[in-house]
A = this chain, B = another copy of it.
Amino acid sequence: MLNELSDNTEHKILEAAKTVFIKEGMKGARMQEIATEAGINKSLLHYYFRTKEKLFAAVFQFAFKAFIPKIDEILGPGLSLHERFSRFANAYTEILIDNPFIPLFVLHEINRHPEIIYKLVQQVGTKPKLLEEIITDEIKKGVIKPVDPKQVIINMISLCVFPIIARPIILPLIFEDDQKKYRKFLEDRKTEIADFIFNSIKVQ
């Protein structure tokens, strides 16, 4: 039972740390707040994770993985480009709706310490080149115009991520604080984004 208990506490701590760090950022987060959120005291927190840095590193790694989509999984084999765009936008938008604070958290921290990305990129093992090749092939096949694949990829991710991280501005400024409208808007995007991109680059 020893291990079960410890796992339990460690798990509680990690969940609490996610909540607090992702909301407040590294500098904004307080160890006491994390302890309280986890229902334990500060000493125990330091017993499990010696320092704030170590705890942060654990949370950041989790967040980074959640933010960088595992493209290869989403882009299953034997699909048309439009279908692939559609699946990507759909899956990624859903991830982001469920974890709306992760992108900003990751971007904010990575801006403060751009170096940390190098360790993470390997661990995550995402392959943007894969998507790039798919797009290049479709150009050769004459399905889409000769566009820069990098532009298309960044467009796709931009269109998925930004509406989520800009919610506190978009909601009052565009949707007059009507959460339902905003929610519907995001829901629509699951299909709109793929159509939008495909329409733009397809050969008519």
A141-171 interface code vs B (CB 8 A; 1 in, 0 out): 0000000101101110111011101101110
Shortest beta-carbon distance from A129 to chain B in Å: 9
How many Å lie between the Cα of A112 and that of B60 in the bound state? Answer: 18
List residues of chain B with CB within 8 A of the CB of A48: none
* Interchain CB contact under 8 A, A159 and B166: no
Query: Which of these, B108, B157, B196, contacts A108 with CB under 8 Å?
Result: B108
A1-34 interface code vs B (CB 8 A; 1 in, 0 out): 0000000000000000000000111111000000
* Interchain CB contact under 8 A, A169 and B118: no
Q: Is A117 an interface residue when CB atoms closer than 8 A count as contact?
A: yes
Q: Is A49 an interface residue when CB atoms closer than 8 A count as contact?
A: no
List residues of chain B with CB within 8 A of the CB of A107: 104, 165-166, 168-169
Query: Which of these, B25, B150, B154, B185, contacts A162 with CB under 8 Å?
Result: B154
Interface size on A, residues (CB 8 A): 51
Shortest beta-carbon distance from A103 to chain B in Å: 9
Q: Footprint of B on A, CB under 8 Å?
A: 23-28, 68, 101, 104, 107-108, 110-112, 114, 117-118, 121, 126, 128, 148, 150-151, 153-155, 157-159, 161-163, 165-166, 168-170, 172-175, 185, 188-189, 192, 196-197, 199-201, 204
